[in-house]
Homo-oligomer: A and B are copies of this chain.
Amino acid sequence: MTKVAIVGASGYTGGELVRLLKNHEKVEISAITSRKYDDTPIYKVHPNIRNSDLIFKDLEPNSLDADVVFTATPHGASMKIVPEILETGAKVIDLSGDYRFKDIATYEKWYEIEHTSPIKASYGLPEIYKKEIKKANLIANPGCFPTGAILANLPLSKEKLVERIIIDSKTGISGGGVIPSAAFHYPTCSDNVSPYKVTSHRHMPEIQQELGMYSNVKVSFTPHLVPVIRGILTTSHSFLEDESVSTEDLVKIYKKQYKDEIFVKILENGEIPQLNSVRGSNFAHIGCFEIDETGRLVIVSAIDNLVKGASGQAIHNMNLICRFKEDEGLNSYGLHP
């Protein structure tokens, strides 16, 4: 059995890693760490995890007995421990933003933190970087919004079909993490829709970095909080440069792009992605492909922000690194209703 450790396991993505790994036949969890919950049994923090002996421990990065370490630590905290963990010989899959940017200056501008330990990492979006991921020691697991947005738009950029993309995303509140605040207070969030960081969200440069690899496409991004626990619904508006491109052409292009990707499902024939079809699963649904009278193209993607947008994708990356079956531990269907 491959040994895995989860650093910062008391948050939502930490809990989700434990939940998903329960059904993974090739690994055992050797440690879950938390400073705050040292010596606390896991069910006191993640009340869904029962019949488990896991106990949070406040362990040092270099004392983890693991082949693969997931760092589910906040931005800024990961960079302080990842180098030390790598030195133990473990592979690291980091769920923070610390290693996602090719250009450190971009990171420092948008995260407003000095980067103290730049290391080359593979960007952990398997649908693009599968080969690199398999050989990597450090994976920068993508942000939740970028996962939905990049998958929805990758073929458009690769095929140079559009020059501008406007991404209007709707996220469940769990994306804000486990720590209570006024913005995530039930009476505030319920029966509400709340746009935030309308032109200044740090996932924008991450989306731009990836979609900008293939063309000069310019990305605009605006997220909204919606009263949903989990899920990101991304509505992508763009304008086709070539008016002769049809919905059918697009379906073909998307199907070709993702033909080997088991977690990407292209919906067609008028089926539109919805959050309630991917809840709890690692699938990304992509669909719509409608073009209106003004030449606007709409692509919609749906993911579970905590699974495909975080912990499921991290396990997918581990499966690639460790040469496990790609969907090992990840082949459950979502919860519907």
A interface vs B, CB < 8 Å? 12, 15, 18-19, 22-23, 46-51, 164, 166, 168, 170, 172-174, 178, 180-182, 184-196, 198-200, 204, 218-220, 222, 224, 226-231, 233, 235, 237, 262, 265, 271-281, 283, 285, 288, 290-294, 296, 298, 300, 302, 331-337
Residues of chain B within 8 A of A191, CB atoms compared = 172, 190-191, 228-231, 275-276, 279
Residues of chain B within 8 A of A276, CB atoms compared = 47-48, 188, 191-192, 194
Going nearest first, the 4 A-B pairs with the smallest beta carbon separation are: A187-B337, A199-B292, A48-B336, A47-B277
The answer on a CB contact under 8 Å between B187 and A274 is no
The answer on a CB contact under 8 Å between A51 and B185 is no
- Per the bound structure, the CA–CA distance linking A336 and B189 in Å amounts to 11
The answer on a CB contact under 8 Å between B173 and A220 is no
Residues of chain B within 8 A of A200, CB atoms compared = 290, 292
Nearest Cβ on chain B to A29's Cβ, whole angstroms: 13
- Per the bound structure, the CA–CA distance linking A83 and B186 in Å amounts to 35
Residues of chain B within 8 A of A188, CB atoms compared = 186, 276, 337
- Per the bound structure, the CA–CA distance linking A107 and B152 in Å amounts to 34
- Per the bound structure, the CA–CA distance linking A271 and B271 in Å amounts to 36
In the complex, given contacts A48-B281, A174-B187, what are 14 additional A-B residue pairs having Cβ atoms less than 8 angstroms apart? Answer: A19-B332, A47-B271, A50-B265, A173-B190, A180-B184, A186-B190, A190-B227, A191-B231, A191-B275, A193-B231, A193-B302, A224-B233, A226-B227, A279-B335
Contact A333 to B50, CB < 8 A, known contacts A170-B170, A173-B187, A222-B235 = yes
Residues of chain B within 8 A of A277, CB atoms compared = 47-48
Nearest Cβ on chain B to A49's Cβ, whole angstroms: 6
Nearest Cβ on chain B to A80's Cβ, whole angstroms: 26
- Per the bound structure, the CA–CA distance linking A184 and B233 in Å amounts to 18
Contact A190 to B190, CB < 8 A, known contacts A184-B185, A298-B199 = yes
Contact A199 to B290, CB < 8 A, known contacts A180-B181, A186-B227, A227-B227 = yes
Residues of chain B within 8 A of A172, CB atoms compared = 187, 191
Residues of chain B within 8 A of A47, CB atoms compared = 271, 274, 276-277, 336
- Per the bound structure, the CA–CA distance linking A230 and B186 in Å amounts to 11
- Per the bound structure, the CA–CA distance linking A119 and B292 in Å amounts to 30
Residues of chain B within 8 A of A184, CB atoms compared = 180, 185-187
Nearest Cβ on chain B to A9's Cβ, whole angstroms: 14
- Per the bound structure, the CA–CA distance linking A298 and B204 in Å amounts to 15
Residues of chain B within 8 A of A274, CB atoms compared = 47, 192-194
Contact A296 to B48, CB < 8 A, known contacts A184-B187, A191-B190, A191-B231 = no
Q: Which of B49, B168, B229, B279 contacts A168 (CB 8 A)?
A: B168
- Per the bound structure, the CA–CA distance linking A288 and B168 in Å amounts to 15
Could you jot down 25 A-B contacts, CB within 8 Å?
A19-B333, A19-B336, A22-B332, A23-B332, A47-B274, A48-B333, A50-B333, A166-B166, A168-B168, A184-B187, A186-B190, A188-B276, A190-B229, A191-B276, A192-B228, A193-B275, A193-B302, A195-B300, A199-B298, A220-B292, A220-B294, A224-B235, A226-B227, A280-B335, A335-B335
